[in-house]
Structure 1
Amino acid sequence: MKFYFASSKVFYVALLAFLVMSCGKSDKGQLVGVEGKKWYPEKPYGMVLVKGGSFIMGKSDDDLAGVQNAPPKTVTVPSYYMDETEITNSEYRQFVERVRDSVIRQKLAEAAELSGDADGNEEGIQRYAFKNAGNDDEEELSPYEEFSKHYDPLDQALNWNPKIIWDPAQYPDEDYVYVMDEFYLSNDQSYNGRRMLDVTQFKYSYKTMDIDAAARKKGERTDFITEQEVMVYPDTTVWIKDFNYSYNEPMHNDYFSHTAYDNYPVVGVTWGQAKAFANWRTKYLNDFRKKKKEANVNFFRLPSEAEWEYAARGGIEGGTYPWGGPYAKDDRACFLANFKPFRGDYAADEALYTVEADAYEPNDYGLYNMSGNVAEWVNTSYDPASYEYISSMSPNVYNSDNMRKVVRGGSWKDVSYYLQVSTRDYEYSDSARSYVGFRTVQDFLGNSLNLN
C-alpha cells in the first residue's frame, strides 16, 4: 500500500508540474525564465563534428627549416563542424551558377519592367518579371514589404520559376536577346567556335562587420560595416601562370568546368572568394530554413589557424602528420598523401596534380587530405611572431591591413615538410593558386560536454 501511495504522489506532483509549465500565466509571480524553441544541433551535410579541447599547437620536433615561427603553445578551441573534404569543383560550381543565374535574372526582370508590356506576352521576357512588382497576377505587397526600409524588392522578389534559356535559337523575343548578349564576350574575343560568357560580370555582394574593431574602438556602427563585391568564377589561368615553360593548357581548359573533375578540390580561388563562398553557403541554407519557419543556423566560415591544426592532428598529440608520423608512407611503402616525394618525382604517389577530395584515408576525426592535395586558406593573418602573443583560448590573429593570410597543409606540388600539421605558410589574400583551396567550418551551438 505504501508503495502505491508513493507512486500516486509522484504522479500527482508530475502532473501539477506539467500543468504549471503548460499555462503561460501560472508562474505565480516567480522568475521561471523565458524559453524559446528547443534547439537540436544539426550536423550540416558533408561535415563532421570536431569536439573541442586543448592541444599543443606548434612544432613538437626540432625546427629543421629554422623558420622559428611555430613554437609549442598550449591552446584550447571550442567544438565546431568541419567539411570532410576540401570544397570541390562541383560544390563551388553550385555557388558560381547560383550567383550567375541571379545576376542574369535581375537583368531580365529589369528589362521586363522597362519593356512596357506587363500585360502582354507571358511567353516572352515578361515571364522573368519581378514577383509582386506591378503584375496583376501576383498577390499585392504586404504593408511590411511596401513600407519597411529593410525590404528590397529587387533582391527579394526574383522569379526563379522559369528556366533561363541558353540556346540563342530559342530566345523568346528581342528584349531577351539584348539582355543575354550583354553577358557574352564579343565574337572577336571568342575562339574555337564557342560562345563564351564574360565571367567578370558575375559578382557576389555581401556585407560584413568587424566585430572586434567595433567592440574595442569608438565610432558609429556603420564605421565597421563594409560591403564586399567579389567575382565568383575561379581564375583558371593559374594553371598557366604558376608554371614557366610547362604545358598545362588541358588543366586550364577543363579542370573547373568538366564533370571529370567534379570531385576534385577547387583551386584558383582567392582568400576573398573563399570567404564569399562561406557567406553565400550560410545565406543559401538560412533562406531554405526561413521558408520552413525554422531557426537560422550560424555562419559558415573559414577555420582559424588553431582550429585547422587541431582538426588536422585528429586527436594525435605531438603527431607530425594527420596519421601520426613520422613518415609519409605506411608499412607497405604506400604514400599516405598527395605531394612531391623524393627529389621532385610527382608520379611516385600515383598523382601528377590534384586527386579526388576524398582520396587517401581520413584522419581519426574523419577528415580527408588535411595534408597534401591542396593547401587550404584559413581565416588568420600571418605573423611569424603571433604564437608569442595569441590568446590560449580560441586563438586567432585577424588583421584586415595584413594581406598575408595563412595557408595550411601543403599541396600536391610541395615536399613533405609542408605536409606537417604544424608547418605554417602564407599567400597574399588577393592571389589565386593552382595548389590552394579551402574548406569551411561552422561553430557548434550548445554545451560540448553533452555531445554524443
Structure 2
Amino acid sequence: MKKLLLLSIAFVFLLASCGSKTKGELVGAQGKKWYPEKPYGMELIPRGAFTMGKSEEDMAQTLNAPTKTVTVTSFYMDDTEITNSEYRQFVDWVKDSITRTKLAILADELGLGPEDGGIGDYAFKDADTTRMSAYEKYMMNNYQGMGETGYEGRALNRDQDLVWDINDYPDEYYTEIMVDSMYLTEEESYNGQRIIDVKKLKYSYKWMDIEAAARSKTGNRKDFIRQEMLEIYPDTTVWIKDFEYSYNEPMHNDYFWHDAYSDYPVVGVSWQQAKAFCNWRTKFKNDDQKSRNKQFVNQFRLPTEAEWEYAARGGIEGGTYPWGGPYVISDTGCFMANFKPQRGDYAADTALYTVEAKSFEPNDFNLYNMAGNVAEWTNSSYDPNSYEFVSTMNPNAVSAQNRRKVIRGGSWKDVAYFLQVSTRDYEYQDSARSYIGFRTVQDYMGEQDSTN
C-alpha cells in the first residue's frame, strides 16, 4: 500500500513537470509585453545632463540660481500649455459627475429605477443586481456606502445623456435637482440667465505621500494617504484683480468659456487646481485602459523645476532662451515669443494678452511657448538656496510646508529677463493669476533607446 502511494505521488509529479511551460527553468513571472505609447499631445524628452542655472550674466542679481550639472530621466511633456478647451473637459467631467450623483441619490431615495423612466434613468447602475459579478455584489454588500454620504463607491450611469435644455427636462424630480442644486439662485441671476454655480464644482481625490511614507520609521500605510477636495473652476476674476485701474472685463467675461479662446492657455488656475487636473487626467485615461483590458499608465503630473528647464532648453546647452539666444528678435525682425517687449507696449509682439498655445516656433524638442505667453507651474517648492542641496540626479526641492512653488518661462506681461530658461520665479500654491498656466508630464517607463 505504501509503495502504491509513493508511485501515485511520483506519477502526479511527473504529469505536473510534463505540463509545465517553464520546464523547471527560472524564466520569471510572465506578464504582458509592455509597448510604450506616446500620450496624445505630448513629446518625448530624451534623458540627458545639462547645466542648470544662470550660466549667463544674472542681470537681476537674484543670486538664487548658481550653476549645477544635473541629469534627468526621459519623460513625456505636453507640447503646449494646457488650453481652455482641455481644462473645460475636466470641468465638464466634474459637472457631469456631480449632476449624475445628485440625480442618482434622489432616484434611490424615491425608489425609482430605469423601468420607471424620468429621473429613474439616472439611477445607480448597481440598482440592477442581476447584471453584477460576484465581486461587484460582494463589494456592494460589504464596502459601499462607507463614507460621508453613504453612497460612496456606487457606480453612476454614464450611458444616459444628461439633459441641459430646460424645455426638455424629463420630470419634476430632474427639474428639482437642476434648478435647486446645480444653478445659481434667482437672487444671484440677472438678465434672465440661469447659470451653473461653479462653487459647487468640486473635485475629490486621494493620493499617497510616498516621500513621507518612505522616510517614516513608524506608522501604517493609511497614515500617509491624503484626501483632497477643492473647487476646480478657474478664477476668472484674476483679469480684474491683477491689474488696478485697467479695463479687462471682456477677458473676465469670455476668456475661459467662449469658443474663440478654446486653443488659448488656461489661466486663473492655482497650483493645487493644476495638481487636481493631473490626478483627473490619470484617472480619465486609466478608466479607459480598464474598459479595454489594458495595463494602467503611470500618473500625469507637474514637471519638476529641473525637468522644465531641461525641456525648455531643447537640447541647446548654453542657450539663453528656448531658441538659443541671446536675442528675442529673429534675423527677420520678428519677436520670438509673446511678452512685454517695450515699456508699456504689450502689443509690439502682435498680442496684447495671451496667444494661441501653438503660436511662434517650437524649440528643438517641439515644445511651444516655453518662453512667454503664460508662466508655468512646476511641482518644485521655491527655495533660493535649493540648488546648493538638491541631488544631481532628477533634482527636486519639494516641501509640503513650503507654500511657495516655482513658476518658469515668463508670460505675456513680463519683460524678456523672465523668459530666459534659467530664470526662477515663484507664486503661492493657492494663488491664481491671469498670467500663470501649466503643462503636464508623464514619466517614460523603461530605458529609452539612445539610438532613436
TM-score by length of 2: 0.91
Task: Look up the match of 2:201.
Answer: 202
CA distance in 2, matches of 1:79, 1:312: 14
1:34–1:374: structure 2 CA closer, same or farther, 3 Å change rule?
same
CA distance in 1, matches of 2:367, 2:202: 31
CA distance in 2, matches of 1:338, 1:119: 53
1:285-434 superposed matches below 5 A? 285-434=285-434
CA distance in 2, matches of 1:144, 1:120: 25
Q: Does 1:189 align with 2:188?
A: yes
CA distance in 1, matches of 2:377, 2:304: 9
Shift of 1:227: 0.6
Shift of 1:236: 0.5
Residues 114 and 121, structure 2, Cα contact 8 Å, conserved in 1: no
Shift of 1:451: 6.2
1:155–1:354: structure 2 CA closer, same or farther, 3 Å change rule?
farther
Residues 338 and 349, structure 1, Cα contact 8 Å, conserved in 2: yes
Structure 1 portions without partners, runs of 5+ = 1-22
Q: Which moved more, 1:214-223 or 1:403-412?
A: 214-223
TM-score by length of 1: 0.91
Residues 268 and 432, structure 1, Cα contact 8 Å, conserved in 2: yes
Q: Does 1:147 align with 2:138?
A: yes
Residues 74 and 392, structure 1, Cα contact 8 Å, conserved in 2: yes
Residues 80 and 441, structure 1, Cα contact 8 Å, conserved in 2: yes
Please point out which of 73, 93, 96 is paired with 1:98: 93
Task: Look up the match of 2:161.
Answer: 163
Residues 230 and 273, structure 1, Cα contact 8 Å, conserved in 2: yes
CA distance in 2, matches of 1:155, 1:400: 29
CA distance in 2, matches of 1:416, 1:309: 16
List per-residue Cα deviations over 1:334-372 (Å, max 9, x = no partner).
000000002121010010000000000000000000000
CA distance in 2, matches of 1:246, 1:154: 46
SS at match of 2:130: coil
CA distance in 2, matches of 1:24, 1:366: 52
List per-residue Cα deviations over 1:364-408 (Å, max 9, x = no partner).
000000000000000000000000000000000110111100000
Please point out which of 92, 104, 113 is paired with 2:108: 113
Residues 84 and 264, structure 2, Cα contact 8 Å, conserved in 1: yes
Q: Report the AA paired with residue 46 of structure 1.
A: G
CA distance in 2, matches of 1:295, 1:212: 25
Residues 115 and 175, structure 1, Cα contact 8 Å, conserved in 2: no
RMSD: 1.5
1:156–1:84: structure 2 CA closer, same or farther, 3 Å change rule?
farther
1:26–1:293: structure 2 CA closer, same or farther, 3 Å change rule?
closer
Shift of 1:269: 0.4
CA distance in 1, matches of 2:309, 2:387: 13
Task: Look up the match of 1:213.
Answer: 212
Task: Look up the match of 2:5.
Answer: none
CA distance in 2, matches of 1:119, 1:315: 58
Task: Look up the match of 2:62.
Answer: 67
Q: Which moved more, 1:156-165 or 1:382-391?
A: 156-165
Q: Report the AA paired with residue 415 of structure 2.
A: V
Please point out which of 30, 34, 51 is paired with 1:39: 34
1:76-95 superposed matches below 5 A? 76-95=71-90
CA distance in 1, matches of 2:409, 2:451: 28
1:391–1:119: structure 2 CA closer, same or farther, 3 Å change rule?
closer
CA distance in 2, matches of 1:156, 1:358: 41
Q: Does 1:127 align with 2:127?
A: no
Residues 126 and 154, structure 2, Cα contact 8 Å, conserved in 1: no
1:340–1:190: structure 2 CA closer, same or farther, 3 Å change rule?
same
List per-residue Cα deviations over 1:3-26 (Å, max 9, x = no partner).
xxxxxxxxxxxxxxxxxxxx9714
Task: Look up the match of 2:171.
Answer: 173
Q: Which moved more, 1:33-42 or 1:67-76?
A: 33-42
SS at match of 2:376: strand
Residues 130 and 154, structure 1, Cα contact 8 Å, conserved in 2: no
CA distance in 2, matches of 1:404, 1:176: 44
Task: Look up the match of 2:14.
Answer: none
List per-residue Cα deviations over 1:79-127 (Å, max 9, x = no partner).
00000000000000000000100000000011111123447631x1101
SS at match of 1:359: coil
List per-residue Cα deviations over 1:39-89 (Å, max 9, x = no partner).
100000000000011000000112111100100000000000000000000
